Amino acid sequence: MELPAKTFRVTRADLVRYAGASGDFNPIHWSDRTATKVGLPGVIAHGMFTMALVGRAVTEWAGAPDAVVDYGVRFTRPVVVPDDDQGTEIEVTAVVREVTEDGLTRLDVTATCLGEKVLSQARATIRTAR
């Protein structure tokens, strides 16, 4: 069973807010000059910010934050965020892999940006409402 897709817009303003909240002011997250100098295609979103957005989708599917039992990802591709008002979008989808007898649902999660997977081995376990 496939769960409904969730889409999250990411702008440079979001990256500034996340940097302030996380304390991660690495210039690859705000300076095109620095990002391209180190071989990136441009400014990229913080990996943990991307993971948090995907976690938000998992939480919405679960129905409550405390229903998320386990969640993990591997980062495979950066989310490039253009310097405009539109930014970019991350689309999150999931497929139910298993429903256990003890009320847990295991999800295989996919996150894409511009059609490219940005996470691999993204999995979550949620407590199913009874």
What's the CATH number where 15 sits? Answer: 3.10.129.10
Reading the block at residue 33, the tokens are 């000059």
Q: What's the Cα-to-Cα distance from 123 to each of 25, 74, 120, rounded to whole Å? A: 28, 10, 9
| Stated pTM of the model | 0.94
Domain that holds residue 75: 1-125
- Find tokens 């490219």 and name the residue: 116
In a domain, 18, yes or no: yes
Reading the block at residue 51, the tokens are 């993971």
Q: What's the Cα-to-Cα distance from 33 to each of 24, 42, 82, 97, rounded to whole Å? A: 18, 8, 13, 42
In tens digits, what is the pLDDT along the chain, a chain of 130 residues? 999 999 999 999 999 999 999 999 999 999 999 999 999 999 999 999 999 999 999 999 999 999 999 999 999 999 999 999 999 999 999 999 999 999 999 999 999 999 999 999 999 999 976 5
Number of domains in the chain: 1
- Find tokens 């495979």 and name the residue: 76
